[in-house]
């Protein structure tokens, strides 16, 4: 695992953006696995800036997102499709047809997960998968449990995740109870994984995930078994490593 410790969130975002930009330069038709959440927003801003300056071309890039809430329309401002449009896709020259997010409105979420697995396979797998990490060690919506889940699947969200997400909805009752997420196998099959972490509140889970035992009770701990992980964090998040 390669580890970068940066001064602050902005430097973390720049470093992570450099890693994505390098991938796009070296392999213009690469498949990027993308994440939502607050942590990668600065990285996306940086990529947009470089695109606008003429330094990056996304015209051949393909993307697959980690997850989506079940039941939210792509136009819902809390859907992950909406997040990706507003934080990245609408500002760069990626072909909309090349962007993939599980469909929140799929009538049969389990069938949608099967379709999504096929999408990833048809793309030939993921070149770089961006991951944030939840306070309980979740990656995507793979919550702590007794086993590692495999491919894209439907999950019932845990109370702690519903509570953490409640701030983004008008009320706690509006937070979806289910999501579709790539599984641990889908994530582990990515050729490279870029984990971004920021803030002191992530320090304990960063330590548990990367120096503790590999266990489904800390889903991110499985990343210790991946041959090509880059961990980029600011010094607050990395302070207990």
Residue 173: active-site member? no
Residue 233 sits in the site that holds ligand F6R (CB under 6 A) = no
Q: What angle do CA 229, 43, 47 make, to 5 degrees?
A: 110
Residue for token digits 């939502």? 36
Alpha-carbon span 114 to 118, nearest angstrom: 6
| Cβ-Cβ contacts under 8 Å for 174 (sequence gap 6 or more) | none
Taking the least distance from each CB to ligand F6R, the nearer of 23 and 233 is 233
CB of 70 within 8 A of CB of 104?
yes
| Residues 109-148 close enough to bind ligand F6R by CB under 6 A | 132-134, 138-141
- Smallest CA-to-CA distance from 180 within 125, 101, 83, 121 is with 101
CB of 31 to ligand F6R, least distance (A): 16
Taking the least distance from each CB to ligand F6R, the nearer of 30 and 219 is 219
DSSP-derived 3-state class of residue 6: strand
Residue 149: active-site member? no
Question: Which residue out of 68, 112, 127, 143 is catalytically annotated?
Answer: 143
Cβ-closest residue to ligand F6R? 132
Taking the least distance from each CB to ligand F6R, the nearer of 94 and 139 is 139
CB of 38 to ligand F6R, least distance (A): 4
Counted residue by residue, the chain has a size of: 241
Using CB under 6 A as the binding criterion, the count of chain residues that bind ligand F6R stands at 14
- Smallest CA-to-CA distance from 165 within 151, 180, 178, 149 is with 178
Residue 221 sits in the site that holds ligand F6R (CB under 6 A) = no
Residue 67 sits in the site that holds ligand F6R (CB under 6 A) = yes
Residues that bind ligand F6R (CB under 6 A): 35-39, 66-67, 132-134, 138-141
Catalytic machinery residues: 67, 136, 138, 143
């Amino acid at each position: 695992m390669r580890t970068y410790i940066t001064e602050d969130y902005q430097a973390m975002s720049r470093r992570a953006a450099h890693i994505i930009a390098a991938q796009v330069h070296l392999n213009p038709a690469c498949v990027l696995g993308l994440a939502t959440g607050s942590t990668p927003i600065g990285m996306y801003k940086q990529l947009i800036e470089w695109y606008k300056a003429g330094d990056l071309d996304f015209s051949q890039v393909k993307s697959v997102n980690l997850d989506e809430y079940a039941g939210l329309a792509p136009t819902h401002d809390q859907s992950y499709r909406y997040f990706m449009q507003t934080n990245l896709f609408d500002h760069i020259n990626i072909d909309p047809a090349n962007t993939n997010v599980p469909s929140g409105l799929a009538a049969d979420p389990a069938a949608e997960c099967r379709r999504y697995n096929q999408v990833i396979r048809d793309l030939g797998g993921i070149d770089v998968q961006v991951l944030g990490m939840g306070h309980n060690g979740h990656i995507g919506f793979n919550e702590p449990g007794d086993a590692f889940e495999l491919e894209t699947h439907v999950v019932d969200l845990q109370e702690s995740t519903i509570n953490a997400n409640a701030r983004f909805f008008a009320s706690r009752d509006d937070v979806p109870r289910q999501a579709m997420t790539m599984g641990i196998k889908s994530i582990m099959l990515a050729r490279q994984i870029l984990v971004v972490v920021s803030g002191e509140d992530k320090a304990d889970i960063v330590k548990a995930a990367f120096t503790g035992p590999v266990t489904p009770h800390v889903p991110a701990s499985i990343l210790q078994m991946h041959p090509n992980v880059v961990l980029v964090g600011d010094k607050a998040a990395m302070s207990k490593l």
